[in-house]
Amino acid sequence: MKDKLVAILTIILFVFPAFSCSQKQKTLPLSPIVKPKNVILIIGDGMGPEQVGLLLTYARQAPHSVLKDRITCFDRMMDKNGSLGVSLTYAHNVLVTDSAASGSQLATGRFSGSEMIGLDYNGDPVITVLERAIQAGKSTGLVTDTRITHATPAAFAAHQAHRGMETAIAVDMLAAGPDVLLGGGLDVWIPEEANTKEAGVRGELEKLTQGAFPIRSKRKDSRNLLTTAREKGYKLAFNRSQMNAASGKLLGLFSDSALPNAIAVSNTLDDPKRSIPTLKEMSAKAIEILSQNEQGFFLMIEAGQIDWAAHSNDAGLMLHEMFRLNETVNHILNWAENREDTLIILTADHTTGGFGFSYTGKDQPAARQLSGKLFKDTVYNPGYNFGDPGVLDKLYSQKLSYGDIFDKFYQLSKEAQTPGNLALVVNRYTDFPITLSQAERILETEDNPLYAADDRRFNAKTVPKLDNKDEFYIYQKTSNQHALLALAVASDQLAVWNTGAHTNTPVLVFAKGTDAARAPFSGVLHHTQLGQYLMDAVSKK
């Protein structure tokens, strides 16, 4: 009897609080909805099945994979209490979405229009999952490695006609008032006067940011949103140590614009003077702050530069961006281990680049002997080069992004910007060397067939020659050169690209949580449904 009582007491004292969610589920079987306390949405921008596949292929096949036990965050999302869905991403009345419309659809559960932020497709503001979570008494946060006012995070806490209106988006975000905002993009938060050397506000900002990055404003007014943020109770952080020391509501802006790309981050990771937090560090801080709330929290974390690497057709950078996502998600999974109160959704807003490894007719491997009995009298001699997995190690060893490679090249004096020097720079920082004639081809230009002086999308009269694909390489000069470099090394990387823009390929949806919490997120979905399920998950009723 006494033993039985002890056992019951033990269950009440120790088991019940830890598993209150699952207990509720068991004792109230008629209730169809079991709300998770916390909802964490992780968006890999541009992270289609191709990008997920790149990391998985690296993990399984790279001869010197640096991933422990060749396990990725995708494996861990599925290992227990995990499920998989496939989701279409198209926006209203179009085949392909941009990040703004897709983010808006995820955030609101409603169809949105291209390039709109937090609106339905008619242009009316719609409540977002973040705003709904605030109504439900939860803490909320947004974390990104791009600008915090960039399309993806903006869609969760702003309502504007166009994604480019980042100065207005910043105002909206403060009005929405998430507890945590961490990312880059100080330049839309500070008054125009900050561009004047003598202005008092500039001196104040230089002091605040401790010279970590240049001070410049993109605002066309005198509003200092940092002051507004302070009045609203935010602590401000501009570097890693300020962030680490902060508690309570936090606005952290760690660059004038986007944060560095994943290769640049890796290159400076062990530098004791590193002032910019990693995506993982920002996410950890966000959880530390948000998890104080007894009512739970909603947190959106964006790995935003997978998309940019894919726009650049930069496979080595894209692999590093996937690593950045991987370590961030792994941290979340470690935190959530053994919790039953948290729903984690890992997905993308769309696919970018149309990437894949492909086999070629170049470098056909030599015929060789096999021990199998059907090869006793003949050699094994496949007709094509199906790809050496060693390519994966070489992609991982890339030392600069294509963007930074071309920056280095264009920092040379005009006379030194020769094909020979381009080849030198490329061959120093990548393991896929280019020849002089390939460098010449990359630097060739022609009249831009799409150029019109009054067209806001195109600013260069002459662009690198991309033959017939210009329409899909919409970011012009540099992006075209990145694509040409990708083309030059394609047969050595076995990597092919279809576009410099997004594609309609459905994206994967990994969900982890209790059976009931994750159930809606599997199957074939559309992102508006995902948005509705998220909305439902954070709602009180």
Nearer to Mg ion among residue 308 and residue 396 (C-beta): 308
Smallest distance from Zn ion to CB 139, Å: 29
281 binds, among Mg ion, Zn ion, none (CB under 5 to 8 A by kind): none
> Which of Mg ion, Zn ion, none lies near 304, with the C-beta cut-off 5 to 8 A by kind?
Mg ion
CA angle (324, 332, 539) in 5-degree steps? 120
Chosen from Zn ion, Mg ion, none, partner binding at 152 (C-beta under 5 to 8 Å by type): Mg ion
| Contact present, 67 and 325 (Cβ < 8 Å) | no
CA dist 310 and 482 (Å) reads 10
Site string for Zn ion, 96-125 (x = CB under 5 A): ------------------------------
Asked if 481 and 303 touch (Cβ cutoff 8 Å), the reply is no
| Nearer CB in complex with Mg ion: 99/255 | 99
DSSP-derived secondary structure for 11-76: IIIIIHHHTHHHHHHHH-TT------SEEEEEEETT--HHHHHHHHHHHHH-TT--SGGG--HHHH
* Stretch in the footprint of Zn ion (CB under 5 A) among 289-297, 307-315, 464-472, 507-515: 307-315
Q: How far is the CB of 218 from Mg ion (least distance, A)?
A: 18
Residue 145 interface partner, choices Mg ion, Zn ion, none, CB cut-off 5-8 Å depending on type: none
Count of residues interacting with Zn ion (CB under 5 A): 1
Which C-beta is closer to Mg ion: that of 152 or that of 278? 152
Q: Three-class SS string for 319-384?
A: HHHHHHHHHHHHHHHHHHCCCCCEEEEEEECCEECCCEECCECCCCCCCECCCCHHHCCCCECCCC
Tell me how far, at minimum, the Cβ of 481 lies from Zn ion, in Å: 18
Q: Rounded CA gap, 104 and 3, in Å?
A: 56
- Residue the block writes with tokens 């199957």: 523
Minimum CB separation of residue 46 from Mg ion in Å reads 8
User: How many Å apart are CA 44 and CA 330, to the nearest integer?
Assistant: 14
The nearest distance, CB 216 to Mg ion, in angstroms, is 22
Q: How far is the CB of 455 from Zn ion (least distance, A)?
A: 20
- Burial readout 443-474 (b: 16 or more C-beta within 10 A, e: otherwise): beeeebeebeeeeeebeeeebbebeeebebbe
Find, among 247, 274, 262, 271, the residue nearest to 308 by Cα: 262
Q: 184 - beta bridge partners?
A: 147
Instruction: Give the residue with the Cβ less far from Zn ion, 110 or 163.
Output: 163
Q: How far apart are the first and last CA of the chain?
A: 41
State the Cα–Cα distance between residues 312 and 540, nearest whole angstrom. Answer: 43
Q: Which is nearer to Zn ion, 281 or 307 (CB)?
A: 307
Q: Nearest approach, Cβ of 121 to Mg ion (angstroms)? A: 20
> For 491, phi and psi rounded to 5 degrees?
-75, -20
Two tokens, residue 406: 């071309």
Nearer to Mg ion, 152 or 532 (CB): 152
Q: Using CA atoms, how far apart are residues 289 and 233, in angstroms rounded to an integer?
A: 14
Residue 282 amino acid letter: M
Q: What's the token pair of residue 535? A: 């909305």
Question: Considering only 95-103, 129-137, 172-180, 214-222, which stretch makes contact with Mg ion by CB under 5 A?
Answer: 95-103
36/304 with CB nearer Mg ion: 304
Q: Are 306 and 321 in contact (CB under 8 A)?
A: yes
| Piece of 211-219, 305-313, 335-343, 363-371 that binds Zn ion (CB under 5 A) | 305-313
Residue 307 lies near Zn ion (rule: CB under 5 A): yes
**52/484 with CB nearer Mg ion:** 52
| 291 CB burial (10 A radius; 0-12, 13-18, 19+) | middle
Q: Residue 87 Cβ, how far from Zn ion at the closest point, in Å?
A: 17
User: Mask: binding to Mg ion, 41-80, rule CB under 5 A, as x and -?
Assistant: ----x-----------------------------------
Please state the closest distance from residue 352 (CB atom) to Zn ion, in A: 5
Least separation in angstroms between CB 423 and Mg ion: 33
Closest CA to 494 of 352, 374, 315: 315
The DSSP output letter for 145 is E
* Number of chain positions touching Mg ion (CB under 5 A): 4
Q: Which is nearer to Zn ion, 166 or 307 (CB)?
A: 307
Query: Closer CB to Mg ion, residue 178 or residue 304?
Result: 304
> Site residues for Mg ion, window 142-181 (CB under 5 A)?
152
Q: Given the rule CB under 5 A, which of 34-42, 122-130, 286-294, 303-311 is the region that contacts Mg ion? A: 303-311
Closest separation between CB of residue 300 and Zn ion, Å?
A: 17
| 99 is a contact residue toward Mg ion (CB under 5 A) | yes
Q: What's phi and psi for 540, nearest 5 deg?
A: -65, -45
If contact means CB under 5 to 8 A according to the sort of partner, which of Mg ion, Zn ion, none does residue 506 touch?
none
Nearer to Zn ion, 146 or 448 (CB): 146
Name which of residues 8 to 47 contact Mg ion (CB under 5 A): 45
Between 172 and 349, whose beta carbon lies closer to Zn ion? 349
Q: Taking CB under 5 A as the criterion, which residues in 210-239 touch Zn ion?
A: none
Give CA separation, 64 vs 40, 60, 385, in Å. 32, 10, 21
The contact set with Mg ion (CB under 5 A) reads: 45, 99, 152, 304
The contact set with Zn ion (CB under 5 A) reads: 307
